[in-house]
Amino acid sequence: MTEQSRATSACVDFITRARWQDVTPEAADLAKRCVIDGLGVVLAGSTTQGSTILRDYVRRTDGGAEATVFSRDLFRASAASAALLNGASGHAMDWDDTQLSTSADRIFGLLTHPTIPPLAAALAVGERIRASGPQFLEAFLTGFEVECKIAEAIHPNHYKKGFHSSGTIGTFGAAAATAKLLRLDADATANAIAIAASLCAGIRVNFGTMTKPLHVGRAAQNGVFAAELAAGGFTGGRDGLDGPWGFFEVFSAGGGMDADRIVGRLGNPYTIVSPGVSIKPYPCGVLGHPSMDAMRSLVTAHDVQPEQIRAIRLRAGSNILNPLRYRIAQSELDAKFCPAFMLSAIALRRKAGIHEFTDAFVRSAPVQQMMVRVETILDPEIEARGFDKIRSIVEVDLDSGRCLAQEADERYRGGPDRPFTREELHEKFTDCADLVLPGEASAEALRVVESLEQADDITALVRILSATGADRRDEFFGAADAPLLA
């Protein structure tokens, strides 16, 4: 390592030294909450068309049988391909968690959906090597932390110029998780980081399409690939993150990075603890969630019926209005980045979940008619307050001439200030998992994750998550394990 490779060196040192037994109880509990949420959205996302297309492709091209692909049509693939498919499923509904900002200049969208890349990688590689629960959790949290600190450190140009951080920076989270499971030494870990730096990709033009979740799947796959190559002696640059040709400089369009946000900060504290992570109540872009809650509060408090609404205005900053770029949604993928749909769904049904984010509902006459009544306005006062929080105001004009207004609560549901209760988290997981698993398997999966630090072998969890393919589990894991779901 050179004197210029401060960030790379910091990441290598953290990855090689981090130990689960040193993690605080708070960080350990939050890690398991993120695993529960992540597993749920992986299962739900496996039912989408994009995930089905990807699985069909991998079946034709991958002959491996190292790790399980979670879906109704159970099968196995190489660890890297399983990470690809489970990672893409985890982001397919845009329902996975979101990293929070620590300062006003760090645009909210710049930061990552941190759980899925290291989770998909750790699941696939952990199954292959039959990692214990503590080993799996150690790898997951290590990858989560490296990913979040890199996202905090890089200049906001990274996002402003069009990169999708969950795809680019998520690659490092998956590489770190895999490096941890493979017990790579410092040299090999540095190589893995450099290899990952040449593999990471994802641009925002693909928001609202199947390619956005592909970014996250590729991040998981490429992170596994990078660490596995490094484990075999494959080399990369010694300072993959630093210097004029390193990740930070190249991928920030010359903006570089803030070394103080990563050097000496990894695990100090863990980002999962401070500033924390937001678990999504709605399966769409998180930048719209506080506005959706504000709309729900408004229509329920005043008992506003859809036919009474003449117009809806969303006042917000560019950090919300630019990424949520669809004026009128024509599909459920558009709808995930369409403020008009988000507010219309709440106005019509007072909720926006799996059953609202469908092509049929988006294209229905009531939704299409309501969306044209929604106007988005760039509010200069909100813009001037910075981008570290999701700030907005919802205004509704009624046929009676009355105007109702509701400011979005910065302490939005699912964030650290208003976290999901254990019951709410389990309810979300069950809603997701029930699309794929029988009810007894969903409940058993929750019990296993809650006590995962006591598990001797991660394949116990994998078998439960494979309950949809109960008739084929024995060929994967052996009949002796059958009583797990009894």
pLDDT digits (tens, 9 = 90+) for 189-210: 999 999 999 999 999 999 989 9
Residue located via tokens 């964030």: 415
Residues in Cβ contact with 61 at an 8 Å cutoff, skipping those fewer than 6 apart = none
pLDDT digits (tens, 9 = 90+) for 327-377: 999 999 999 999 999 999 999 999 999 889 999 999 999 999 999 999 999
The reported pLDDT for the residue numbered 2 is 43
Region of 398 (left: φ > 0; alpha: ψ -120 to 50; beta: rest) is beta
pLDDT at 480 over 50: no
Tell me the percentage of the chain whose pLDDT exceeds 90.
Answer: 85
Main-chain dihedrals φ then ψ at residue 321, nearest 5 degrees: -75, -30
Phi, psi for 375 (deg, rounded to 5)? -120, 140
Q: Which residues are CB-contacts of 244 (< 8 A; sequence separation ≥ 6)? A: none
Torsion of CA 323, 325, 329, 333, to 10 degrees: -40
What's the token pair of residue 385?
Answer: 């307050």
Predicted pLDDT of residue 459 = 95
* CA atoms in the 13 A half-sphere facing the CB of 434: 9
For 350, how many CA atoms within 13 A lie in the half-sphere containing its CB?
10
Per-residue model confidence (pLDDT) at position 1: 42
Do 455 and 32 touch, CB atoms closer than 8 A?
no
Query: Taking CA 323 as the corner, what is the angle to CA 321 and CA 329, rounded to the nearest 5 degrees?
Result: 85
288-318 pLDDT, tens digit per residue, is 999 999 999 999 999 999 999 999 999 999 9
For residue 145, what are the CA distances in angstroms to 14, 19, 26, 479? 9, 13, 14, 38
Tokens 């990709």, located at residue: 201
Element (H, E) at 219: helix 211-231
Q: Output the pLDDT for position 9.
A: 97
Q: Which CATH architecture has domain 286-407?
A: 2-Layer Sandwich (3.30)
Indicate whether 471 pLDDT > 80.
Answer: no
Spatial separation of the C-alpha atoms in residues 124 and 136, rounded to whole Å: 10
> What are 130-149's pLDDT values in tens digits?
999 999 999 999 999 999 99
The Cα–Cα gap between 14 and 99 comes to: 20
pLDDT single digits (tens) 207-235 = 989 999 999 999 999 999 999 999 999 99
Q: Which of 92, 443, 445, 37 is nearest to 280 (CA)?
A: 37
Q: How many CB atoms lie within 10 A of CB 16?
A: 17
Q: Which two three-digit tokens encode residue 259?
A: 């070394």
Residue spans per domain, the chain:
6-278, 286-407
Model confidence over 58-107: pLDDT tens digits? Answer: 999 998 999 999 999 989 999 999 999 999 999 999 999 999 887 777 76
The pLDDT value recorded for residue 481 is: 46
Q: Helix 170-182 crosses helix 186-199 at what angle (to 10 degrees)?
A: 150
Q: Which two tokens stand for residue 264?
A: 């000496």
- 479 pLDDT higher than 70: no
State yes or no: pLDDT of 321 exceeds 80: yes
Q: Which residues of 195-233 are buried (b: 16+ CB within 10 A; e: fewer)?
A: bbbebbbbebeebbebbbbbbbbbbbbbbbbbbbbbbee
Q: What distance in Å separates the CA atoms of residue 77 and residue 237, rounded to the nearest whole number?
A: 30
CA distance 239 to 152: 19
- For 414, counting Cβ atoms within 10 Å of its Cβ (0-12 exposed, 13-18 middle, 19+ buried), the class is buried
pLDDT 10s digits, 168-182: 999 999 999 999 999
User: Which stretch of DSSP H or E encloses residue 282?
Assistant: none
Q: Would you say residue 278 has pLDDT above 80?
A: yes
**Beta-carbon neighbour count of residue 129 at 10 Å?**
15
Assigned CATH topology for domain 6-278:
2-methylcitrate dehydratase PrpD (1.10.4100)
Residue 394 forms beta bridges with which residues?
A: 314, 406
Look over the chain and give the mean of its residue pLDDT values, rounded to a whole number: 93
318's CB contacts (< 8 A; 6+ apart) are 378, 383
How far apart CA 433 and CA 44 sit, in angstroms, is: 6
How open is the CA angle 422-424-427, to the nearest 5 degrees? 110
Q: Determine the pLDDT at residue 473.
A: 55
Whether the pTM exceeds 0.85: the reply is: yes
